[in-house]
């Protein structure tokens, strides 16, 4: 199976996926990194790992439709079977989602449907809840929504700061994402109604 990782930032989840593939915990080939930010540190991580970088800058295209058409062309060229979103800071259009239905997965630093959005860790800490966590899910046309593949909880300590909670969330992400990808590749997690019981470790 051929994988593409979409990322716009540091790329720590990208590195966790590369490591899992090298350790044969994910039996697939990471064909390409798709990145929209030429200065993103994830590009250097990909180059160091021998992964082909596909840089597609949004400002080079007159519309999101043209931007996504260019991305789709690259996905077809590299015969991508599964798209892995790892900090890709662009919303995908409903048309793109429909084209790759059940072939795009995402990781989010909360127990969805709680705390959607870009500041999920901070929002959970400020809300004073006892637990937060990490969710890996198939995407659909809504933001931070779609059938759950795996979720795992983290207890929030009264001593937690934003930095300490972020660190623990990221450690959990690096463990959970490769596990979820492997389940999808092996056909052990398939899309189901989000109202169904959530799989967890």
Half-sphere exposure of 14 (CA within 13 A, CB side): 32
Please tell me the distance from the alpha carbon of residue 92 to that of residue 96, in angstroms, as a whole number. 6
- Taking only the tens place, the pLDDT of each residue in 172-185 is 999 999 999 999 99
pLDDT (tens digit, 0 to 9) for every residue of the chain, 201 residues total?
999 999 999 999 999 999 999 999 999 999 999 999 999 999 999 999 999 999 999 999 999 999 999 999 999 999 999 999 999 988 899 999 999 999 999 999 999 999 999 999 999 999 999 999 999 999 999 989 999 999 999 999 999 999 999 999 999 999 999 999 999 998 877 764 333 343 333
Domains and CATH numbers, the chain: 1-100 (3.40.50.170), 107-135+143-201 (3.40.50.170)
Residue 108 known to be catalytic: yes
């Amino acid at each position: 199976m051929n994988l593409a990782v979409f990322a716009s930032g540091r790329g720590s989840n990208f590195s966790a996926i590369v490591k899992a593939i090298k350790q044969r915990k994910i039996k697939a080939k990471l064909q390409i990194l798709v990145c929209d930010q030429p200065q993103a540190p994830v590009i250097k991580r990909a180059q160091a790992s021998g992964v082909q970088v596909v840089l597609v800058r949004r400002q080079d295209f007159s519309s999101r439709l043209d931007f996504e058409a260019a991305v789709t062309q690259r996905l077809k060229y590299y015969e991508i079977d599964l798209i892995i979103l790892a900090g890709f800071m662009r919303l995908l259009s409903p048309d793109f989602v429909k084209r790759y239905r059940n072939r795009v997965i995402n990781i989010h630093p909360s127990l969805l449907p709680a705390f959607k959005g870009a500041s999920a860790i901070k929002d959970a800490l400020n809300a004073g809840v006892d637990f937060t966590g990490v969710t890996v899910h198939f995407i659909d046309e809504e933001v931070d929504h779609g059938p759950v593949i795996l979720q795992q909880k983290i207890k929030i300590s009264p001593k937690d700061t934003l930095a300490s909670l972020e660190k623990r969330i990221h450690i959990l992400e690096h463990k959970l994402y490769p596990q979820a990808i492997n389940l999808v590749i092996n056909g052990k997690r398939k899309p189901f109604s989000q109202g169904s019981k959530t799989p967890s470790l």
